[in-house]
Structures are given as C-alpha cells and as structure tokens.
Structure 1
Amino acid sequence: MAEQKKINPMVKTLLELGPVVLFFVAYLKLKDEVFQIAGTDYAGFIVVTAAFVPLMVASTLVLWRLTGVLSKMQVLTLVMIVLFGGLSVWFNDERFFKMKPTMIYLMFGGIIGFGLLRGESYLRVVMEEMMPLQPEGWMILTRRMCAFFFALAVANEAIWRTQSTDTWVYFKTFGLTAAMFVFFMAQGKLFSAYGIEEDGASEDG
C-alpha cells in the first residue's frame, strides 16, 4: 500500500468539498435557465451536472497526486458520479443524477453489511488509521454505519421522488453532510469506550 503524503488540511478540504460547493452555487444561478446545445434544450441542472462531473474527476486526481493514495470509498464514489452524472447528461434526464446518492449509500451499506455477515468489519480497513478502535468497537460502529447508510439511501429516494429539485439540491449539499456529522458526533461514547491510545501519546503522557 502506498504511503499517504501529508498535505495542508485546507487544501484537502477544498479539493473534497470545493466541487460540491461550486455545484450548489452554479445551480442557484442557472436553475431557471435553458440552454440549447446542438438543437437540444438542456435545463440548467443538466448543464451544471455536465460541468460538475469533470470538475470532480480533476479534483480527485489532484488529491491523489498530492497525497499518493485514494480510499476505496473515494474511488467508488467517483465512479458513481461519472456513471450517473454521465447518464443524466446523455439522456438529458436529471433523475439519474438524483439517484446517485441512493446508489452510493446502498453500495457502501451492502459492502460493509456483507462483511458483517462474514464476521468482519470492512469499515475498519478504510478508517482504522483515522480512528483506532478495539475489534468489538469496530463491529459495533460497522453495524451502526451499515444501518445509517441504508437510512440515507431511503431518505434520498424519498426526497428526490416527492420534493422539488431545489429541495433535493439543498438536501444533498447540506442535509447529507449534516447527517454524517451528527452521526459521528453521536458515536462519542463508543469512541471513548473502545478507543485505543496511540503509543506515542501514551509515552508523552
């Protein structure tokens, strides 16, 4: 496995969240516009999606270039963005892009759920360096994360199928991010109970 290079946290955040913020801002500016390209009318949402996909690819490649590694989640997410974003543009149908979060969360939930059936925590493979936990702690967190991913998939389906595009864009940009933040904040007791202190921290203390 390639060793991850350290980069400025602000640069990393910009590369990860910048394209999403730009998508949101561009959508607000172009949502009521219609663009005629090669004789076909495209809504602002489709045009913004067409710009977002290569921007996300470029941002991820730069992040990989700077850090030397990409997690499996980052790679799978990028593949889904290219696939469903491309389908939306190709068929001029925004529904494909709205389905993307559903497919991503179902895929992640399914993968770690499969691991649970085998008595393993695939989440540990991805996140162990970020959050050292005892094996039992990883299993508990993985079960919770699996349920959480499936809940997010259901929520995304309910929002895009029953609400306006405006509502879905706000939900995707802010709601899903906030939900992830709240989920990990709610795991504080788990991290305290099953966390493993790093050797360096123990020696310094």
Structure 2
Amino acid sequence: MTKQPNPTLKAILEYGPLVAFFIAYLKLKDEIFTIGGTDYQGFIVVTAGFIPLFLISTGLLWKLTGHLSRMQAVTAVLIVVFGGLSVWFNDERFFKMKPTLIYLLFGGILGFGLMRGESYLKSVMEGLMPLKHDGWMILTKRVAGLFIALAVLNETIWRTMDTETWVYFKTFGLPAAIFLFFMFQTKLFQTYSIAETKEGDEDAG
C-alpha cells in the first residue's frame, strides 16, 4: 500500500544524494587519495560514497512510501553497477555513461510499449495526472523522445567536456531539462485531462 510521506522529507531523500555528491565533488575534485597502493582521484572517491548514500535514501523512501517504482529500482541497480565499475577499475567513464544507459533504456521501453499501442508511462504516472488514452500516447511519445535526446546530450558532454562541466550538467542540467519539458506540456494536460473533460460535461449539462 502506497503511503504519503511528508513532501519535504520525500524531496530530501530523492535529491539529497545528488546534492551531496555535487558538494563533495567540489571539495574533493583536486584531491588524490592513495588506498591500498592505488591512487584515486576525488571523483572516484565521491562516487564510492554516493552509491551507499543513494541506496540508503532509496531504502528509506521505500519504507516511508511503501512503494518503489520500476524506474527507481532500475536506476538503483545501474548506479550500483556502473558506479561500482568506476570504483573497481578506477575509471570515471563508467559512472558518466550511467545516465546515457538509463535514458536509453527508459526511452526504449516506452518506445516498445508504443509499438504495442500501449503507454507504459501511464502505469507510472497515472496517479499524478489522469489523462485520456490519446493524451497518454502523445505524452509517452514526447517523453520517449526526451529520454533519447538526454542520452545523446549526456554522451556529447562527458565525451567532449571536462569532468566538472559534466558534474554541473548532471546535477543541474538534467533535472532542469526534465522540469522544463513537463512545464511545456501544460496544454496537453489541459486538453486531455479527464478531470477537465468531466467538468466540461457538467457545465454543458
């Protein structure tokens, strides 16, 4: 059963690890840590700390809400896998690839659903905004396109720019892009909202 936790606490658990990663990176980015005879850059050490922090936050969020979406579960797995690979091989590229793979995976899943005439996005977000079927299909196409675009953008930035630029992009750019995307979907929500349709029918009657 899904519970409704305090919104502030929920936001802290969702975004706290990312903010902590950003702050820790700024403090340790120029440091070199020698562990077991191997030198690790600050980015790798911060990544190693981010993994358990993210898992703890996700676990607390699960306990508070009684629910963990497939998207959250997949994200947690990929963070462990690719963050772990970065630490194990002492190579930051694995962790930088992680957003690319997440967005490609989610975009691909949504695209597969669309080919079957279904909106998998509906099963994740229906409780937040009830829409008619056509609305869900249009929104799903747009979100799938967004995910593919973000995957390409992430690859471009980490491969062509320095690590600090990528960290700023990961911390602020990606969330801002998703926020702005949904802000620009207002007309779609108004047009296909079930609540709006019912209200219109009542007025007509």
Deviations 1:18-47 (A, max 9, x none): 000000000000000000000000000000
Instruction: Count the aligned residue pairs.
Output: 201
* Residue of structure 2 equivalent to 1:39: 37
* Residue of structure 2 equivalent to 1:167: 165
The CA distance in 1 between the partners of 2:194 and 2:164, in whole Å, is: 43
The CA distance in 2 between the partners of 1:27 and 1:196, in whole Å, is: 45
Q: 2:181 pairs with 160, 183, 188, which one? A: 183
* Residue of structure 1 equivalent to 2:27: 29
Q: 1:151 pairs with 109, 124, 149, which one? A: 149
The answer to whether residue 15 in structure 2 is matched with residue 10 in structure 1 is no
The CA distance in 2 between the partners of 1:32 and 1:71, in whole Å, is: 37
The CA distance in 2 between the partners of 1:73 and 1:130, in whole Å, is: 15
The CA distance in 2 between the partners of 1:154 and 1:20, in whole Å, is: 21
1:120 aligned counterpart, secondary structure: coil
Amino acid aligned to 1:82: V
Amino acid aligned to 2:140: T
The within-5 A match list for 1:84-123 is: 84-123=82-121
Please state how far the C-alpha of 1:196 moved relative to its aligned partner. Answer: 1.5
The CA distance in 2 between the partners of 1:166 and 1:188, in whole Å, is: 34
Amino acid aligned to 1:162: T
1:197 aligned counterpart, secondary structure: helix
* Residue of structure 1 equivalent to 2:126: 128
2:195 aligned counterpart, secondary structure: coil
* Residue of structure 1 equivalent to 2:79: 81
Please state how far the C-alpha of 1:6 moved relative to its aligned partner. Answer: 1.1
The CA distance in 2 between the partners of 1:138 and 1:69, in whole Å, is: 22
Amino acid aligned to 1:118: R
For structure 2, the residue ranges without an aligned partner over 5 or more in a row are none
Question: Normalized against structure 2, the TM-score is what?
Answer: 0.95
Please state how far the C-alpha of 1:127 moved relative to its aligned partner. Answer: 0.5
The CA distance in 1 between the partners of 2:155 and 2:117, in whole Å, is: 30
The answer to whether residue 55 in structure 2 is matched with residue 61 in structure 1 is no
Please state how far the C-alpha of 1:113 moved relative to its aligned partner. Answer: 0.4
For structure 1, the residue ranges without an aligned partner over 5 or more in a row are none
The CA distance in 1 between the partners of 2:3 and 2:183, in whole Å, is: 27
